Structure formats: structure tokens, C-alpha cells
Amino acid sequence: MRVAKQTQWCVALMLAYLTAGGCAGSTGEADRRGAARQTTMRAPPIPKAGVLARPKSPRQIGVPDGAVIAAIPPDNPQTPEKIALGQKLFFDGRLSADGTVACGTCHDPDRAFTDGRPVSIGIHGRVGQRNAPTILNALFNKTQFWDGRVKTLEEQAALPIVNTVEMGQPSLDAAVARIAAIGEYRRAFRSVFGRPPNGPDLLRAIASYERTQLAFDSPFDHYISGDKSAIDASATRGWIVFNTRGRCNKCHALTDDKRDTSNFTDNDFHNIGIGIIRHNVAALARQAEQLVNSGDSAAIDNAAVQTEMSALGRFLISKKEADIAAFKTPNLRNVLVTGPYFHDGSQETLWDVVDHYNKGDGLHDPYLDEDIQPLALKETDIDDVVAFLASLTSSSYKELGIKELARQRALSRTTRPQRDTARAFGPKPPRPNPNSP
């Protein structure tokens, strides 16, 4: 009974804290560290809508036939005028409460529509808990956000606007009111939608623009299309390791017999052992039970972005114990230029990522995905897997990819915090009981 009352008190306190617009972090020392970070961090300048921000042609090598048309919802058809309006809104800081943050702040086209940070920074320097995923090819996502808490890009566009850590508007209507005060926007909404600015149409315009951000035409696409010289021998070997001893295909290419070379994702959620040491996820899950049962989408969104409950991942949405610390499998296209990696941005290089999987990290985690195990990959195998992943870089990011690969390779030769050869070549230990102390 004492534990139940304490859990209820913790959740009530968390809800009150979130309602008051609290900063990122959790109680105790983690809160103090989070508060300190927020006083020193500043959101980067809003990027300009340059060449890489332009809508992309669907006629790229590798674009799956018919998938682009299938990804356009019937109630929000694409038009050039709507896309142009969405692009303007995407880079407009006036959608945020203080005018300093736009969608493009966390999704900079020059950084492959990410921000290059472990976790994002919003208004007033507030620091979130999750890494900003790329907008590239997001039209194919079955769900949005790392925990899949919404399905459509229209729904996704709404939440950052009203999240107190991100764009900080008290409501979507408040954001619309600022836009509606601008004559250029009033005329554009009339022209595109035939009515004054309003919340649903604002989200439709942003989502329409985001659906134009296709990024294929990579060396690997040319290789799959028949040009066997499009990737080098290392990348070719890496593709084989990816689908065999590396076990990457378990989440990123469907099955051994059916390989997905379009999006490299199973559109599912997996606990891969990230953050287990830094977060007691079992205790967090007990604290979050009342929150997730409330069905309060705004409070859940705030918890996911602002607090250590972020580490619970899909559990915040599904309420299933098996989903504790499970996160969405990301699309691997342009992965080289969309780091740092994982939902918390905790790994800086692709070598760190492969090292994490190679040692089967998180094996003490009772909720760990059953496919995680030591892989016994040699250093040459790891280099080959990274070479394959680099070959997924689209032609528009070729120059950035060359620089980033050189940077990561140089860093990997001196700093490998995730490497543990003994564990990588050792046996898989027995899975612990979730209910054990």
C-alpha cells in the first residue's frame, strides 16, 4: 500500500510539474543537471530555405513504384501552392511562442533535415530528451516520433508547436492567430484552401511540404538497379554482413528471404538496450502507469520530450510491459549524415552504433529484444558494415557524406567507447526476469 501511494504521489507530482511547464529532466540530481543545461544552451538560428529545402522529384532511382502516391492522404492532396505555403511555414519562427524556433530549427535541410545534436533545443534554451529524426522519406513512416505516438504527418506537425520545451505555444489556435495577423498568409490560405488561416489547414500545408522530401538516388540504389560498380568491395561485403552475421536485417530489411531496399525498416518498435544503465526503466514504468492510463495526449507528449520518462519509449503509448524502452526502427537512408544516433543521440559515429550491437549491449535488460546478442564481428566486418551504410547516402548529400565519413572514421581510430571485444565474442547470457529485484 505504501508503494502504491508513493507511486500515485510521484505521478501526481509529475503531472503537476508538466502542467506548470516544467523543464526537461526528472526529480533529484537529474533535474538539477537538466536545469543547468537549459540555462546555458541556446537554440541555433533558424536555417534558411536554401537549395536542399526545395521539394524533391519522385523520379529518383530507388523510389518505390506507387509508394509516393499511396502515401498522399485523400483528404490532403498535393498542390504546388499548398507545398509552397507549407515550406514557408516550416521555416517561420513565428509559429513558436517567442519567435526563435521553427520546424526547420530541428530539421535543417543542410543537415539532412536533422539538427546534428544529441537532443534538440527549443524556446528559451530548453533541452529535450530525444534526438530529432530526419524528415527525409518521413512520408513512408507508418507512425511518427520515436515512440509512434501519432500516425500522420499532419498529427506530427501539431505537437511540437504546443510542446513547452519545443515551440511553446499555449495552443494551436495561438499559433494560428499569429499567422493570421500577417496579410501574406491570409491571402495564401485563401488561395490554397479557400478560407482564412486555421489549425487543420496549417498542419495540412506543413505535412504537404514534408511529403516532398524524398531522398533516394544513392550509390546503393544504383548498385541494386544493376550497376555493380556503384559501390566498392567493402560496401558490397558490408551488405552481406548486414543480412547475415550482423543480424541488421532482423529490424532493417524485414526477413532473410524478403529484403526491403526501399526504407530499411520493419516499422516496428524494439528495445535495443539503450539507456538502461542511465535510467531505471522498471521504476519509471511504475511511475508512468497512471499517466499512460489517463490517455492525456498532451501530458504524454510532454513526458516523452521533457522528462526521464522518455526512456520508456513505446510503453508510454501502448501500456504494454513488453514495450518498455522500445523505440521505432529508423529508416537507414542517409544515416551517415543524420547522426548522432539512437533515440537519445547517445552514439556519435556509425562505428559506435555497430560496436553497441556487436557486444549485444543491454543483455542485463529484462525487456531487451530477443534478437540482440553478441555478434562476434571482426574490425574489418565493422568497417564493411559502415561502408555499406555510407552507400545509402543520397546524391544531394554526397559532399556532406564524404566529409562526415572522414570525420567519423578518424574519430573511430582513436575513440571507441562502445567497443568490447571480449563480450562481442562471448556467449549470450541468460535473459533476466523482469520481476527480479
Q: Give the least confident one: 165-174, 342-351, 359-368, 395-404.
A: 359-368
The confidence band for 296, taking pLDDT boundaries of 50, 70 and 90, is confident
Query: How much of the chain, in percent, has pLDDT values that exceed 70?
Result: 87
Confidence tier at 277 by pLDDT (50, 70, 90): low
Q: Which of 274-278, 319-323, 403-407 has the lowest mean pLDDT?
A: 274-278
Q: CA-to-CA distance for 76 and 250, rounded, in angstroms?
A: 34
Number of neighbours of residue 413 by Cβ within 10 angstroms? 9
Mean pLDDT over 79-86 rounds to 98
pLDDT-derived band at 430 (thresholds 50, 70, 90) equals confident
- pLDDT digits over 403-421, tens only? 999 999 999 999 999 999 9
Long-range contacts of 195-204 (CB under 8 A, 24+ apart): 199/158, 199/172, 199/173, 199/175, 200/154, 202/89, 202/157, 202/172, 202/175, 202/176, 203/154, 203/155, 203/157, 203/158, 203/172, 204/76, 204/82, 204/86, 204/154
Q: Give the mean model confidence (pLDDT) for residues 207-232.
A: 97
Q: Angle between the 153-162 and 172-180 helix axes, to the nearest 10 degrees?
A: 90
User: In this model, does residue 74 exceed pLDDT 70?
Assistant: yes
Is the sign of the CA dihedral 419, 424, 426, 431 positive or negative?
positive
What does the mean pLDDT of the chain come to? 87
Please report which confidence band the pLDDT of residue 53 belongs to, taking 50, 70 and 90 as the band edges: very high
- Does the pLDDT at position 32 exceed 50? no
Read off the pTM: 0.87
The pLDDT tens digits of the residues spanning 184-219 come to 999 999 999 999 999 999 999 999 999 999 999 999
* CA-closest candidate to residue 418, choices 338, 342, 337: 342
